[in-house]
Amino acid sequence: MKIHQLSVSAALASVFSSEQGLASSVAAARLAEYGPNRVEPLAREHWLLRLLKEFTHLFSLILWVAAGLAFLADWYDPDQGMARVGVAVILVIVLSGIFSFWQEARIERTLAALQNLLPRQVEVLRDTSVQTLPAEALVPGDVILLKQGDNIPADCRLIEAFGVRVNRATVTGESHPQSCHARASMLESHLDSENILLAGTSLMAGRGRGLVFATGAHTEFGKIARLTQAGTVMDSPLRREIAHLSRSIAYVALAIGVVFFAIGTAIGVPFWRDVTLSLGILIALVPEGLLPTLTLSLVLASQRLARRNVLIRHLPSVETLGSVTVICTDKTGTLTENRMRAERVFLDLRSVGVAELGQDPAVVHQHELFFRIARYCQDLAEVWRDGQRSFDGDPLEVALAEMSERVLVLPAMPPRCDEQPFDSERMRQSVIFPTEAGAVLYCKGALERVLPLCTSIHLAGAVRELDAATRDSILQAQDEMAAQGLRVIALAARPLPQGCPREAQEQALGFCGLVGIVDPPREGVDKAVDTCHGAGIKVIMVTGDHPRTALAIARQIGLVRSDTAEVICGDQLARLSVAQLQLALDAPEIVFARVAADQKMRIVEALKSKGHIVAVTGDGVNDAPALRSAHIGIAMGLTGTDVAKEVADMVLLDDNFASIVVAIEEGRAVFQNIRKFITYVFTHNVAELVPSLAFALFAIPLPLTPVQALSIDMGTDSLTALGLGVERGNPKAMQQAPRPRGAHLLNGAVALRAYLFLGLYEAAAALAAFFFVLHSGGWQYGTDMASSDPLYRQATTACLAAIVLLQIVNVFLCRSAVRSAFTTGLGGNSLILWGVLLEVSLILLITYTPWGNLLLGTAPLPVAVWLFLLPWALGMIALEELRKLLARRRLAIPKP
């Protein structure tokens, strides 16, 4: 037999202990065998090794090679300033690596939140005396002393209990306090047994002694923690996409660099000049500023969401939100207000509004027992606020108590002598009070679990036999209430015969009536659900409520619109195979009702297997595996546990479903904005590459030095690129389906526009400015020039200035791929305007200050060069506007 099925003496014997506890020597031996009572982290690599790995992935390795070549080139020819290039590249590697390492630290924070639920000290019987020991010192066989307010440090079997009530929400998801006792249980599972206390739960009332039978990772709490740590973490779509983009760019950069190094060697180009060429190609093609700019863009997006009650804990999840295809959401508190009130009652076989009860005192008097049950069968705390009494506790119980208080003055709740607690299996609660006539049992719960126990009914102050016709009337009344979106609670009672055994107490009950409780939908939720439908996002309600109530609320908020919606209850779900569940999820409209919290993960995994990007809400410790398994785990900020918040990718500060939709809209905008600044950045990459290729293929000086190219990547273009990353989203973004799962940031359209259109045009302008200065100074084709030659420096400065000027134009062109720049305008994004100001300031400083000339090898430009570049800027606008016009016509987009 299992420990919860044994008597107290047999339970003690099963772990070789006694009521006086263990001897210290025995405890020490067991501690060595079982280990400390704590949630041990999984074996992980040393933090230094993990940090080093962030600097050794493919993207970083290529940049390390570039930095090394730069230092070698500087050693051979110090006049080229290549050491500055090497330092700048290393700075990029370090910043990106530190950020990625910081992201990994969130697993340690999750573990810390789990540990915080366990007490630090505990009173233990050791050597026949009470000792206060660290919770980590507990071992199986220890006897611990527990009192009201204590957190349970390990899985225990109660061997003594006085009025013990436990809140198991953090482990089981059941928020209703449960009464516990020390008697043997005949239940199969120890999780449901009333003599078991689980680690991580808390003692709400009473005192007792517990026999420890599981510690550390062997507790139910430890198993959840282990699963939370070991569960598969899905890479965000953004992480995968950036990795794909980085590999593609890296391979292309390496290939082109190697090919042109080989060509240079074959045609007799001096070795170090060939190295400089290859390095220039590498730096031109690798967008060094991409990862820092992306990070800052995500940070700013998360700050915007924080102002709208969405706290982002994991930056890449901002973009992942834009990929979501399915949202699995709770009902109570997320879709509804979680402010319940009793709306209707079913008495004397007729439905009456609660507001009407005060108009008929006779009815209230005849059904005083009904209101006594509603008031006394609960676990509420009475508090005083502003001089008025109110109730703290489960919102449903508060609604029942407030209903009774409104219609009837009742004496203070008497002390109960016993209780059979509510749990998700029984779905009812019974409390027993002593009276002068003997003990009386009050029962409340789901009708399907209460009505079968009833043999009589209270009608008009009399007790009558409950026949089949009356049962049908009661069931019909429940269906009618549930169809109105009311949560239906049945109330019943019976006087207990003296000596009635516990297992027979909840039999031969007298049915007293039904209460219909309303939990109004949150304001704006219907619009949010409608937005999801328009955006091609499937919303699935997962709730513990009655299926009819769940369906009624789903209809009220527009989640269900047809008459063919699929409703699956928890017991049905338990019988479905993996394949059957996946097929059931194909239903256009589906609601899961009477579902236990631990079944969420199964639904999430099934949706992931079907190729969906899944967001799921949760609030308890037992939700942590599902939150971690989902692509986007969403914890509740008001009602969620610390563990759920630590595991989740985002936290709803207002517990409101509408906030999820706001976050998804922001996520879609982020993806499009990343494409915008990729287009912008890759344009100048081409403009940097083509001059290097011209240097390799023709007898001309190098038009743009590597350090000048880096000044564009990490300096002049940094703030404008970031401005594109925080552009306002397309107002029609939520009228489109989620992007295909295989959609890449760098698709054909983006590549053609950046590389072959804008990039080539900008490169042509840069080379034109370079040659304009050279020819103006009398340079002849084929003539070599020293890097210190003033004419050469002025020509490279003109090339740099051309790229910067056209990038200033380009940032406004890139604000939309199809809308005219004259429509998007110059305003509406202060970051872009500040970025343009920065670009202008930097190019002037680089061009016209001695330190700028010294640092980047530049020289002042005459006004004629700027006048030469002006038509190129206007031509870029004209050509891009023509392309956008043709694109709008092809896509049938009305002229803005």
Query: What pLDDT is stored for residue 176 in this prediction?
Result: 59
Residue range 526-553: average pLDDT? 89
**Distance (Å, whole) CA 759 – CA 633:** 40
Q: pTM, whole model, 2 decimals?
A: 0.67
In this structure, what DSSP letter does residue 639 have?
Answer: T
Average pLDDT rounded to a whole number, residues 139-166: 87
Q: SS3 of 507, please?
A: coil
Confidence of residue 107 (pLDDT cuts 50, 70, 90): very low
3-state SS assignment for residue 208? strand
Which DSSP helix (H) or strand (E) runs through 325? none
Structural domains of the chain, ranges and CATH numbers in brackets: 3-39+118-230 (2.70.150.10), 287-307+673-890 (1.20.1110.10), 317-337+522-655 (3.40.50.1000), 341-518 (3.40.1110.10)
Compute CA distances 718 → 84, 116, 761, whole Å.
Answer: 18, 42, 21
Q: Lowest-pLDDT range, 266-275, 369-378, 712-721?
A: 266-275
Residues 6+ away with beta carbon under 8 Å from 503: none
Range with the poorest average pLDDT among 200-209, 377-386, 880-889: 377-386
Mean pLDDT of 532-544: 90
CA distance linking residue 727 with residue 313, whole number of Å: 22
**End-to-end CA gap in the chain:** 77
Would you place residue 118 in the very low, low, confident or very high pLDDT band (cuts 50, 70, 90)? very low
Q: Give the pLDDT confidence of 555-607 residue by residue, as tens digits.
A: 989 999 888 889 999 889 989 999 999 999 999 999 998 887 678 889 999 99
Radius of gyration of the chain (CA): 35
- Closest by CA to 142, choosing from 11, 257, 27, is 27
CA dist., res. 536 & res. 738, Å (int)? 6
The order of strands in the sheet holding 614-618 is 310-312, 650-652, 632-636, 614-618, 326-329, 538-542, 590-593, 566-569
**How far is CA 830 from each of CA 336, 724, 812, 836, rounded to the nearest angstrom?**
38, 11, 12, 10
- Those residues whose C-beta lies under 8 Å from the C-beta of residue 144, and which sit 6 or more positions away, are 122, 123, 124, 125, 138, 153, 154, 156, 209, 210, 212
Q: How many CB atoms lie within 10 A of CB 498?
A: 6
Q: Among all chains, which residue has been given the structure tokens 């297997």? A: 609
Collect all residues with Cβ–Cβ distance below 8 Å to 682 and sequence separation of at least 6.
Answer: 287, 746, 750, 751, 754, 755, 759
Task: Say if residues 490 and 446 touch (Cβ distance below 8 Å).
Answer: yes
Of residues 580 and 260, which shows the higher confidence score? Answer: 580
Higher pLDDT, residue 388 or 607: 607
**From CA 495, how far away is CA 509, in angstroms rounded?**
9
Look at residue 485 in the predicted model and tell me its pLDDT: 83
Are the beta carbons of 476 and 351 closer than 8 angstroms? no
Indicate if 654 belongs to the active site.
no
- List C-alpha distances in Å: 446 to 186, 213, 422, 892: 23, 34, 10, 56
- What percentage of the chain exceeds 70 in pLDDT? 86
d(CA 185, CA 194): 7
Separation between Cα atoms, residue 823 and residue 482, nearest integer Å: 52
Work out the average pLDDT over 830-835: 91
The answer, yes or no, to whether residue 674 has pLDDT greater than 80, is yes
CB atoms within 10 A of CB 742: 6
CA distances 890 to 87, 404, 474, 876, Å, are 47, 67, 63, 21
SS3 707: helix
pLDDT in tens, 750-769: 889 998 999 999 999 999 99
**Stronger pLDDT, 332 or 570, i.e. the higher one:** 570
Please, are residues 430 and 443 in contact by the beta-carbon 8 Å criterion? yes
When pLDDT is cut at 50, 70 and 90, the band that residue 233 belongs to is: very low
Distance of CA 623 to the CA centre of its chain: 12
Of the pLDDT bands very low, low, confident and very high (cuts 50, 70, 90), residue 232 is very low
| Cα–Cα distance measured from residue 803 to residue 86, given in angstroms and rounded to the nearest whole number | 22
Q: Does pLDDT of 160 surpass 70? A: yes
Distances (CA, A) of 843 to 290, 587, 863: 21, 59, 14
Give pLDDT, residue 493.
Answer: 96
Kindly tell me if the per-residue pLDDT of 114 is higher than 50.
no
**Residue 382's beta-bridge partner residues?**
391
* pLDDT of the residue at 306: 81
Between 279 and 666, the more confident residue is 666
The one catalytic residue in 150, 330, 423, 623 is 330
For residue 177, the SS3 value is coil
Name the DSSP class of 831.
H
Number of residues that make up the chain? 896
* CB-CB contact of 477 with 431 (8 Å): no
DSSP assignment of 563-617 equals: S--EEEEHHHHHH--HHHHHHHTTSSSEEEES--GGGHHHHHHHHHHTT--EEEE
CA angle (115, 116, 118) in 5-degree steps: 70
- Sort residue 892 into left (φ over 0), alpha (ψ -120 to 50) or beta: left
If 0-12 CB within 10 Å is exposed, 13-18 middle and 19+ buried, where does residue 334 land?
Answer: buried
Q: What count of other Cβ atoms lies within 10 Å of the Cβ of residue 292?
A: 18
Question: pLDDT tens digits, residue range 854-865?
Answer: 888 899 999 999
Q: Say which DSSP state 291 is in.
A: H
Q: What is the DSSP code (8-state) at residue 219?
A: S
**515 forms bridges with which residues in the sheet?**
345, 489
Most confident of 346-350, 356-360, 720-724: 346-350
Full DSSP string of 134-153: EGGG--TT-EEEEETTPBP-
611: left (phi over 0), alpha (psi -120 to 50) or beta: left
* 8 A C-beta contact, residue 593 and residue 543: yes
- Residues of the chain above pLDDT 90, percent: 34
Name the pLDDT band for 384 (thresholds 50, 70, 90). low
* Pairing mode of beta strands 509-518, 350-353: unpaired
Predicted confidence (pLDDT) at residue 110 exceeds the cutoff of 50: no
- Residue pair 396/429 in contact (Cβ under 8 Å)? The answer is no
The DSSP bridge partners found for residue 196 are 157
Is 175 a residue whose pLDDT tops 80? no
721 — pLDDT class (breaks 50, 70, 90): confident
More confident residue, 662 or 299: 662
Amino acid residing at 418: D
Beta bridge partners of 429: 444
Q: Bridge partners of 129? A: 126
Structure confidence at residue 229 (pLDDT): 54
Q: How confident is the model at residue 171 (pLDDT cuts 50, 70, 90)?
A: low
DSSP collapsed to 3 states, 327-357: EEECCCCCCECCCCEEEEEEECCEEEEHHHH
Write phi, then psi, for 406 (nearest 5 degrees): -70, -35
- Phi/psi at 784 (5° precision): -80, 155
Task: Return d(Cα 863, Cα 752) in angstroms, integer.
Answer: 34
In 3D space, the residue among 711, 669, 686, 697 whose CA is nearest the CA of residue 801 turns out to be: 711
pLDDT for residue 40: 61
